[in-house]
C-alpha cells in the first residue's frame, strides 16, 4: 500500500480508517501484480472426438485459479502476474503433442495442466520428460501415466486400479453379483475393462464385458446381448456422447433403469446429459470425488460460490482440480523462487501445498502412486430429472454419509 509521506498513524487510527472505508462501501486497494507474466499452460479437449464439455469446465476452474493467484495472493515471485495460455488437444495424441510443444516452446509455459484423456496424457507425458516441463494430469486415470516414473508428471486424480476396486467393493456391499461392463476402445475404456475384470475375479463376482468403438452410433445389439445375460448392474465406461447414447438406448430396450447403471465419473450432473436423454436418464448412479457441502480449505470456499455465480452450476471435480492445480503451481513457484521449469519441478517434489480440498504432497514410491494424490471416491444417484448436484443422493460409502440405499423406479 502507498505510504502517506511523513505523517504517521497509530494502529488504532488505521483500524478506524479501515472500518470507515468499509462502512462507505470502499475497501483498501492492494498493489496489483506487475512485471513479466508467468505463464501456465492449459491443454484440454475443446473439440471432438475429445470431450469438450469436460474441457470447458476444466478451463473455467483454471481461470478462477488464475484470478485467485493474481487478486488474492498478489501474483507470484514477489508480485508477478500469472497468465493462462490455452490449447485444444481434441482428445487425440497428435493434437496433444502439438499443443504441448506450442505451450512450452512458443508460449514459454512453466507448467501445463488440464490433461483429461489418458491416451493423450500418455503421449504428452513422454514429451514433458524430454522438454523437462511439469505436466499435470487433471482427469486422466491410466496407471501407466504414473508408472512411467517421469520426474515431470504430477497427478491429482483417481487412478484406474483404485476406482475399479472401489466399484467392486461397492457392488459387494450392495449385494450385486453379476456385473456387465461396456467400455469404449480407448486407453481409458480398455484400461478400466481390464482392471474391473481383475478386481471382480479376485472378489468372486461374475462379469461380462464388451468393448465398443468410440465413434459408435448404435449400441442396441450389444445392449440386447447384455440384457439377455441379466446383470445386476451395468458399468458405463463411455466418455461424452457414447455414454449418453448408452443410457438412451438401454432405456429404449427396457434394460435401464430396471438394471442399475453406474457412470464411471460425474457426467450425469452435466446439463448436456439431460439434453441428450431427458427424463429417461433418471435413476442413474455415478462416481464422484466430492459432493457440494463437503469441508474444503479456504481456497475451495472462495471458489465454490464464484463458480456457481458465473456458470449457474456447481463445479465438477475436474473444475475444482484445475483450480487447485493452478494454486499448487503458484505455491511451488514461490517456494522455488524461480520461474525455471526445472526449479519448479524440484519444488513440487520437495514441498507441501494446499489445494481446494486439503494437503498436496507428491511422493515417489515404486508404484502407481508416483507423484499421485488421489481424491476420495463416492457413489451418488440422480433421482429426479435435471437434479442439482447438491441434491444428488449420496449412496456410498458410509464414512462420507452414504446410506447404502439405491432408489429404484
pLDDT of 73-88, one tens digit each? Answer: 999 999 999 999 999 9
Contacts of 19 (CB under 8 A, 6+ apart): none
Report percent pLDDT > 90 for the chain: 89
Q: Which residue has the higher pLDDT, 5 or 122?
A: 122
Cell of 12: 488504532
- The answer to whether residue 166 scores a pLDDT higher than 60 is yes
Average pLDDT rounded to a whole number, residues 126-132 = 98
User: Is 405's pLDDT higher than 50?
Assistant: yes
At 8-63, the pLDDT tens digits run 333 333 344 344 433 333 334 446 788 999 999 999 999 999 999 999 999 999 99
DSSP state of 352: -
User: Residue holding cell 436418464?
Assistant: 281
Predicted confidence at residue 370, as pLDDT, reads: 98
Whole-model pTM over 0.85: no
Q: Identify the structural domains of the chain with CATH numbers, from first to last.
A: 38-158+295-360 (3.40.50.2300), 161-288+377-400 (3.40.50.2300)
Residues 270-309: tens digit of each pLDDT: 999 999 999 999 999 999 999 888 889 999 999 999 999 9
Q: Which pLDDT does position 31 carry in this prediction?
A: 66
Which one has a higher pLDDT value, 13 or 258? Answer: 258
Pairwise CA distance, residues 232 & 180, whole Å: 8
Q: Please tell me the predicted confidence (pLDDT) of residue 21.
A: 38
Distance CA 54, CA 90 (A): 11
Q: What pLDDT, on a 0 to 100 scale, did the predictor assign at position 46?
A: 98
Torsion of CA 370, 355, 270, 192, to 10 degrees: 10
113 has which bridge partners?
42
The pLDDT of residue 5 is 32
Dist CA 187 CA 193 (whole Å):
10
Amino acid at each position: 500500500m502507498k505510504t502517506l509521506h511523513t505523517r504517521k498513524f497509530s494502529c488504532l487510527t488505521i483500524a478506524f480508517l479501515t472500518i470507515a472505508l468499509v462502512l462507505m462501501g470502499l475497501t483498501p486497494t492492494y498493489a496489483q501484480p506487475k512485471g513479466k507474466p508467468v505463464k501456465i499452460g492449459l491443454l484440454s479437449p475443446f473439440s471432438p472426438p475429445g470431450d469438450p464439455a469436460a474441457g470447458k469446465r476444466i478451463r473455467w476452474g483454471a481461470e478462477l485459479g488464475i484470478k485467485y493467484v493474481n487478486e488474492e495472493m498478489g501474483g507470484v515471485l514477489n508480485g508477478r502476474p500469472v497468465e493462462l495460455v490455452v490449447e485444444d488437444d481434441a482428445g487425440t495424441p497428435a493434437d496433444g503433442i502439438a499443443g504441448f510443444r506450442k505451450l512450452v516452446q512458443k508460449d514459454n509455459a512453466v507448467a501445463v495442466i488440464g490433461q483429461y484423456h489418458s491416451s493423450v496424457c500418455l503421449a504428452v507425458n513422454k514429451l514433458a520428460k524430454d522438454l523437462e516441463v511439469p505436466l499435470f494430469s487433471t482427469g486422466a486415470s491410466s496407471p501407466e501415466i504414473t508408472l512411467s516414473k517421469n520426474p515431470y508428471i504430477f497427478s491429482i486424480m483417481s487412478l484406474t486400479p483404485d476406482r475399479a476396486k472401489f466399484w467392486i467393493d461397492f457392488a459387494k456391499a450392495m449385494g450385486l453379483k453379476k456385473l456387465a461392463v461396456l467400455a469404449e476402445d480407448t486407453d481409458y475404456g480398455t484400461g478400466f475393462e481390464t482392471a474391473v475384470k481383475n478386481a471382480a475375479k479376485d472378489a468372486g463376482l461374475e462379469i461380462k464385458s464388451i468393448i465398443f468403438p468410440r465413434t459408435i452410433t448404435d449400441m442396441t445389439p450389444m445392449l440386447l446381448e447384455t440384457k439377455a445375460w441379466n446383470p445386476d448392474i451395468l458399468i458405463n465406461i463411455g466418455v461424452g456422447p457414447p455414454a449418453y447414447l448408452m443410457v438412451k438406448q438401454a432405456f429404449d430396450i427396457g434394460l435401464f433403469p430396471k438394471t442399475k447403471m453406474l457412470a464411471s465419473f460425474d457426467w450425469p450432473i452435466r446439463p448436456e446429459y439431460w439434453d441428450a436423454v431427458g427424463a429417461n436418464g433418471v435413476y442413474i448412479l455415478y462416481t464422484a470425488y466430492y459432493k457440494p457441502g463437503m469441508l474444503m480449505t479456504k481456497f475451495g470456499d472462495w471458489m465454490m460460490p464464484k463458480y456457481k455465480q458465473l456458470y449457474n452450476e456447481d463445479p465438477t471435480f475436474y473444475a475444482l482440480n484445475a483450480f487447485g492445480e493452478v494454486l499448487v503451481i503458484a505455491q511451488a513457484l514461490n517456494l522455488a523462487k524461480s520461474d525455471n521449469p526445472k526449479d519448479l519441478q524440484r519444488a513440487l517434489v520437495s514441498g507441501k501445498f494446499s489445494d481446494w480440498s486439503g494437503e498436496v504432497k507428491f511422493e515417489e514410491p515404486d508404484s502407481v502412486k508416483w507423484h499421485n494424490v488421489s481424491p476420495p471416491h463416492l457413489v451418488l444417484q440422480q433421482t429426479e430429472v435435471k437434479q442439482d448436484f447438491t441434491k444428488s443422493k449420496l449412496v456410498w460409502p458410509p464414512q462420507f454419509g452414504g446410506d447404502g440405499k439405491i432408489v429404484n423406479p
